[in-house]
Amino acid sequence: MYAKAKEIKVKLGILLQKPDSAVDLVIPYNEKPEKPAKTQKPSPDEALQWRDSLDKLLQNNYGLASFKSFLKSEFSEENLEFWIACEEYKKIKSPARMAEKAKHIYEEFIQTEAPKEVNIDHFTKDITMKNLVEPSLSSFDVAQKRIHALMEKDSLPRFVRSEFYQELIKE
């Protein structure tokens, strides 16, 4: 009986051992975190303005890259990727290219069980689907506004509390 208990203790001990490195605990994720774009690091004063304005953050290449890296570290970058895809979509001139990109955005972010499904209500999803019958530059506007509001209310405050941001505002 004692030998059996000792054997179980040894096996449990092996299972409970901490891995040699934290890498063993991380879910395999092939992409390396993106380094902020090769743009000038913002001044602490400029970075401080991002606390109150998601738009100012999104308009700054360095801020956008830092925000994206932060969201990737949390495995929650789909909202920002959707927002960026919508911004790129609005620049398309060709109706054929627009229809193709609209289908891609819908399949990647909007449809149920999409690989990077964003969290929008059924009303917004329905409006977006109706808008995609005849794609236009404003097809994703309602959904994009909802996701922008969500990032402003949820992701931005978490980013502002993160080390990513705290490093930027140090003098």
Model confidence pLDDT, tens digit, residues 70-118: 999 988 899 999 999 999 999 999 999 999 999 999 999 999 999 999 9
pLDDT band for position 16 (50/70/90)?
Answer: very low
Q: How far apart are CA 135 and CA 156, in angstroms?
A: 30
Q: What is the mean pLDDT of residues 130-151?
A: 95
Q: How far apart are CA 76 and CA 68, in angstroms?
A: 9
> Are 112 and 122 spatial neighbours (Cβ–Cβ below 8 Å)?
no
Torsion (CA) 118, 158, 47, 150 in degrees, nearest 10: 30
* Residue 84, token pair as written in the block: 């960026």
Higher pLDDT, 38 or 120: 120
pTM of the model: 0.74
User: Could you tell me the domains of the chain?
Assistant: 44-169 (1.10.167.10)
Percent of the chain with pLDDT over 90: 66
Q: How far apart are CA 103 and CA 128, in angstroms?
A: 11
Q: How far apart are CA 15 and CA 74, in angstroms?
A: 27
Residue 3 pLDDT greater than 90, yes or no: no
Q: Residue 9: what pLDDT? A: 52
Residue 55 pLDDT greater than 90, yes or no: yes
pLDDT band for position 38 (50/70/90)?
Answer: low
> Are 31 and 128 spatial neighbours (Cβ–Cβ below 8 Å)?
no
